[in-house]
Amino acid sequence: EVQLMESGGGSVQAGGSLRLSCKGSGFTFARQDMNWYRHKSGNECELVASLRNDGSPYYPDFVKGRVTVSHDNAENTIYLQMHGLQPEDTAVYYCSVPGPPRDRPASGGLCYSQNFGYWGPGTQVTVSS
């Protein structure tokens, strides 16, 4: 059974940094693409970073230069280092492994993407001004 568990969220002031972790089990970590998403209340999930199984990262434009994704395959853990956090970065952050359509949405079904693949329960990041 694929399981993911995020940690490292919290409350920071604008301009601060956080490092999120996601520990996985039940799959061969090194062979999987891994994604970090975030969900803001009332919105769809946004892809924040991807780490392809060849080790190459992808960042959408709105986070480029502010986040770095990395991994430790021996620990089955993926990380998201975030710098220069702003109040608009306030969200629940999820790690996710791509996969088939689910019988039931993951993690509360807060966005369409959670109908597919595997998701952790999420970790809250709150940035105050």
In this predicted model, what pLDDT tens digit does every residue of 50-83 receive, in sequence order? 999 898 999 999 998 999 999 998 999 999 999 9
Instruction: List Cα–Cα distances, 65 to 33, 60, 73, 80, in angstroms.
Output: 21, 10, 24, 13
Per residue in 10-31, pLDDT (tens digit) is: 999 999 999 999 999 998 877 8
